[in-house]
Amino acid sequence: MKKYTDEQMKKIYSERRAKLFAFMKENKITAAVFEDSEEHRDLSIRYFTGHPSDALWICSSDGKNVLLPWDENLAAERSVDVKIVPYNKYGRKNLDAVREVLKSFKKNNPRLKVELSPSTPYPLFLKYVDCLQGWDVLCREKSVHDFVLDLRSCKDEYEIECTREAARVGDLIIEKIEGGIADGSIRTESDVALLIERELRLNGCERTGFDTLAAGPSRSFAIHAFPGYTGAPWPGKGLSILDFGVVFEGYTSDTTLTVVKDATEEQKNLVKLVEKAADAALPYYKSGEKIKMAGLVADEVFKKAKREMPHTLGHGIGLEIHEFPRVSARQTEELVFKPGMIVTLEPGLYDEKLGGVRLENDVLITEDGNEVLTHSKILWL
């Protein structure tokens, strides 16, 4: 991955925050509160500050912003161009911290508005109302926080580069898996899952994007096998699924490969249908195209074979494994693909007797089409 200077990183984060502040000004929102904690995870704090976890971030429409981290040392190392105030200063109490920071944001305005996340529990919302005298406390749909989720759906240059690196490492791991299957070092679901854990860290990644799902033939009928992996044979005779992602600088990949070993004709037909659906839908992953069209095309492939896919065709990825938008035939007419979106393409079919097959790759929407970032595949043994 290319190296970014401190000044380049400041510019990237400044541009993100500028879009947020402009939205707040336009909608007459004085301030907004973002919280990333064990009780309420919001990775938008990392998006706007670079700080990876556990903090409050409070910002105002005129550009003032304060980061209150649980780990001050980590924030000093990782945050980009923000004012850091230790969380301990306010006794680790969110209400006190928000109240005191907002005092410095006050203006000569008779109507001061502060927005909380729409997911704020109602009892906590009432506590904020009592605590923030002089402020109109908002907790609603179509909020600043919803705007941010939409903003995050189109990645900037740095986010795309981070996702490319996650994809590159994921591809390297798939090569290792192929080698392990060939030399016999991978024999169980646990073997392949633990290989992923080791290799991603050896290649500079932070963690898996979600709990790895490794399901041999006896469990691949489930969309998301439970538990994620066991000591069962993998791959075994029939259809085996592996769904995993790796995280680089916060950004995750998401891929699924299927291993086909000594399959029956019925199992081979399932695999070919999934490959056909992926090939048919990919051309619809392009700027300006209605998102629902890709879902309709994939669904039609399965419908003709009297099969039905039990999940959506894809979803956005980024700082979180499931981000806006969902790729589905049920999407609204108005929602279209935009340049910078990174979305999965993951058709799948599952049968209690035959097992399951899914093929998943990550697709970047470009100005003139798309770029498939990952190279997951069907492995035929």
The CA distance from 215 to 234, in Å, is: 7
Size of the chain in residues? 381
User: Three-class SS string for 142-207?
Assistant: CCHHHHHHHHHCCCCHHHHHHHHHHHHHHHHHHHHHHHHHHHCCCCEHHHHHHHHHHHHHHCCCCE
Contact 294, 281 (CB under 8 A): yes
Cβ partners under 8 Å of residue 280, min gap 6? 297, 298, 300, 301
Q: Phi-psi bin for 269: left (phi > 0), alpha (psi -120 to 50), beta?
A: alpha
pLDDT at position 152 is 98
pLDDT at position 1 is 84
Place of tokens 């392009």: 286
Around 229, how many Cα atoms within 13 Å sit in the side-chain half-sphere?
25
Query: CA 311: distance to chain centroid?
Result: 17
The CA distance from 177 to 246, in Å, is: 15
Structure tokens at 75: 């924030």
Provide the 3-class DSSP secondary structure of residue 104: coil
The CA distance from 153 to 316, in Å, is: 7
Contact 257, 378 (CB under 8 A): yes
DSSP state string for 269-329? HHHHHHHHHHHHHGGG-STTSBHHHHHHHHHHHHHHTT---SS-SEEE-SSSSSEEEEE-T
- Pairs from 276-284 (Cβ < 8 Å, separation ≥ 24): 276/301, 277/301, 277/302, 277/309, 277/347, 278/345, 278/347, 278/359, 278/361, 281/313, 281/345, 281/347, 282/345, 282/363, 282/370, 282/372
Whether cis (ω within 30° of 0) applies to the bond prior to 310 is no
Contact 329, 295 (CB under 8 A): yes
Provide the 3-class DSSP secondary structure of residue 339: coil
The CA distance from 344 to 146, in Å, is: 21
CB atoms within 10 A of CB 321: 17
pLDDT at position 108 is 61
Place of tokens 């043994």: 381
Taking the chain (381 residues) in consecutive chunks of 10 residues, what is each chunk's mean pLDDT?
92 98 96 93 97 96 95 96 92 92 77 93 95 94 95 98 98 98 97 98 98 97 97 97 98 98 97 98 98 98 97 98 97 97 98 97 97 97 94
pLDDT at position 181 is 98
The CA distance from 54 to 37, in Å, is: 5
pLDDT at position 109 is 65
Provide the 3-class DSSP secondary structure of residue 59: strand
* pTM assigned to the model: 0.95
CB atoms within 10 A of CB 309: 24
The full set of domains in the chain, from first to last, is 6-152 (3.40.350.10), 157-380 (3.90.230.10)
DSSP state string for 70-89? S-HHHHHHH--S-EE--GGG
pLDDT at position 35 is 96
